[in-house]
Structure 1
Amino acid sequence: MRVSIVQPRDLGKTDIDRWRALQASNPVFDSPFLSPEFTTTVGALQERVRVAVLHDGPDTVGFFPFERHPMGIGMPVAAGLTDAQGLVHAKDVEIDPHWLIKACGLAVFEFDHLAPGQPLLQAGHSRHPSPIIDLRDGFESYIETVKVNSGKTYRSTAYKSRKLQRDVGPVRHEYGIKDLAPLRTLLGWKTEQYRRTGRTDRFARPWIVKLVERLLATDNEHFGGVLDMLYVDDRPVAGHFGLRTGTTLAGWFPAYDTAYAKYSPGLIHHLAMAEKAAATGIQVIDMGRGEKEYKEKLKNGEYEVAEGRVARPSAGAGVHWMLRVPVRKARGTVLAHPMLRTTADRALKTYGRLRTTIMS
């Protein structure tokens, strides 16, 4: 087996077609974050993106997109933004992970949402659930499951939807929007949410805004950006921007106008989004790893993703261990214990309120 390292822009039509064929051959690869369009779009904005093309004799048997950082540190494409990471490869192909990262010129490869069944997966890597909305039996079947598993939430959401319409005006939902104005409204809500909860504002980085805008403009049978919004009396109150394959919608950036928070517009929106998505052929909405209350209320299944690193003996791997591993372990300890997680979340929200007050 041999490896060719290329920039995304150097992939030809034959490469893209082969990547899509490999992706379609295994359901675990059915995530837009593992699609060639995602890597090529990020690669047009970030020079550090590379793709390892794996060859076995005359056959192309895999694609491994990654970012190459100083000291041989490797990370997933658009690290920190993606909910599925790793290789797209042929079934039954044997790939030694240490051989692969060496062939890529890396000392270490770190990940936090590694897709199942990856050659990079090792015994010491931690596994985490990634909640999904499974629509394979249809939207009505999904709703019946929600009524059983989260009956109180469903009834409360239906009541708040009716109350919103009585108090404010008629509700409508638009799916597959291509205009930039609603997208910018959504990103504004998301920025406010990041600041309010003490998180880093991803959209303070111009390249991420450009990435989202370019992905919104992308739309083919295999991949596309999906923007949908919930309106009340023609005013936007909640929305979401995500990415899709032909059958999977990846949840990415949901947000709502806090002026309508008492009506739970996020839950109203998610149920409307699931119905419209199912009507377009979406079978799974992957809400992504993370302990969020709305995910627990809406999920009817889950995937599993892994977190960890693959390293080979080197100075770069040693530096990476000192800088990243203890922090990741501490973070994992906090997230694994509800009391610690709640305390940390409250501290971040307090910080966010103070920061907002100071900046206003």
Structure 2
Amino acid sequence: MDIQIISADKLTKEHLSVWSYIQQNNPLLGSPYFSPEYTSIVAEAKGDVLVAIIKDAGEIVGFFPFEKNSWPIARPVAWQIADYQTLVLKSGFNFDIREFVESCNLKIWNFCNMPNTILPEQQFHKLREEPSYIIDVSAGYDSYIEERNLRSDWIKKTIKMMRKVERDLGEIRFVPQLDDESVLNLMMRWKSEQYARMNTYDRFQIDWLKQVVEKVYATRNERFEGMLSALYIGDQVAGIEFGMRTPSVLHSWFSIYNQDFYKYSPGMILQLKIIEYVASQGMKHIDIGAGTDNYKERVANNSITICHGYIEIPSVITTVRNLRNRSMEMLNSVKTLVTA
């Protein structure tokens, strides 16, 4: 196994083509987060993304995109918005992950939201795991509706609400793929207002993150594209969702609705419309990510387990980090005893 590390902006057309081929032929890599376009977009916006190109007997068999500062510690690409991270590997290719990390001149690889099907558990330190929710429409829209109606009444309530909207306010119109930058800007403005109401940090204050969203929106090809969807009530925008998609998977990224229509549940109406559209396109599923939102458990009919953890190579750096972590654990234990 040979490793070549390059800046992501140095990836050639051949590299990108091989990466896409590996992704399309490995069923575990359907997410747009694993697409070369996503890594290239982040690299263009941030400028500090590296890629390890993995070769076996002269053939490229994988790619490992990551970020690293002056310390030999890797972290996910755009970790602030990284709903998934993994190695992009040719299906069936296996190797010793610690040997690989060391070959990348790294001492620690910190990862988050790693699908648990990617790496053997015995090869890394697991800090925690959680479900990441999926709306599986591989059997078709009608099958999804039938299964959800057995477990929840959200679809029946949403359809009833749609009738009420049309009686009270007028026509409902759904546009699955908008080419309108003003709606994208409206989504970001509404999300910023939502973050302010929730007293949480406004992601769109991060310049590179905003650039990533804009560049994903502007990308259109058969392998990867941004997907901006909108729900209209009359002539007003009632809800917006922005995500990114591959031929088989839509990853829901940012969703927001018009507060003026709050009592009409525009967010749930928009979600149902998107589910119907994705199923009609022959896609496999919508990924709505991890989290404790009640609506995710209502609309999802499947999930995958994702892990948070790290891989480390024994060194001075890992020794210092482990000592620091143990000190923090002892300090927290003392605080617990004092306040008990």
TM-score (norm 1): 0.85
Query: What does residue range 260-279 of structure 1 map to in structure 2 within 5 Å?
Result: 260-279=261-280
Shift of 1:193: 1.9
Q: Is the 8 A contact 1:247 1:284 kept in 2?
A: yes
Q: Determine if contact 1:96/1:119 at 8 Å carries over to the other structure.
A: no
Contact 1:73 1:320 in 2 (8 A): no
Distance 1:315 1:258 in 2: 53
User: Amino acid of the residue matched to residue 253 of structure 1?
Assistant: F
The number of equivalent residue pairs is 327
Corresponding residue for residue 104 of structure 1 = 104
Q: Do the aligned residues in 2 keep the contact of 1:120 with 1:310 (CA within 8 Å)? A: no
1:118 aligns with 2:118: yes
Amino acid at match of 1:106: L
**Quick check: 2:174–2:231 contact (8 Å CA) kept in 1?**
yes
Residue 54 of structure 1: aligned partner: 54
Q: 1:108 to 1:190 in 2, by over 3 A?
A: same
SS at the partner of 1:210?
Answer: helix
2:220 and 2:226 in contact (8 A); partners too: yes
* Cα distance in 2 between the residues matched to 1:120 and 1:77: 22
User: What is aligned with 2:308?
Assistant: 307
Say if 2:124 and 2:311, in contact at 8 Å, map to a contact too: no
CA contact (8 A) 1:53 1:60 kept: yes
Task: Encode CA deviations 1:149-198: one digit per residue, 9 max, x unaligned.
Answer: 112x2222222222222222211110111211001111112112222223
Distance 1:72 1:275, change over 3 A: same
**What is the identity, as a one-letter code, of the residue corresponding to 1:133?**
I
Q: Which range is displaced more, 313-322 or 29-38?
A: 313-322
Structure 1 residues 160, 176: CA separation in 2 closer, same or farther (over 3 Å shift)?
A: same
Q: Matched residues in 1 for 2:92 and 2:255: separation?
A: 37
Percent identity at matched positions? 34
Alignment of 1:90-239 (within 5 A): 90-119=90-119, 121=121, 122=123, 124-125=125-126, 126-151=128-153, 153-239=154-240
2: CA distance, partners of 1:326 / 1:235? 52
Partner residue, 1:296? 297
Q: Distance in 1 between matches of 2:48 and 2:326?
A: 20
Contact conserved, 1:19 with 1:62, CA < 8 A, in 2? yes
- Evaluate the alpha carbon distance shift between residue 308 and residue 278 of structure 1 in structure 2; reply closer, same or farther with a 3 A threshold: same
When the two structures are superposed, what TM-score results if normalisation uses the length of structure 2?
0.90
Give the corresponding residue for 2:32: 32
Give 1:280's aligned residue.
Answer: 281
Report Cα offsets for 1:255-309 as digits up to 9, x if no partner: 1122222221111110001111222232210111111111111011111211111
Whole-Å Cα distance in 2 between the matches of residues 44 and 318 of structure 1?
A: 35
> Which residues of structure 2 form unaligned runs of 5+?
333-340
What CA RMSD, in Å, does the superposition of the two structures yield over aligned residues? 2.2
Structure 1 moving runs of 4+ over 6 Å = 323-327
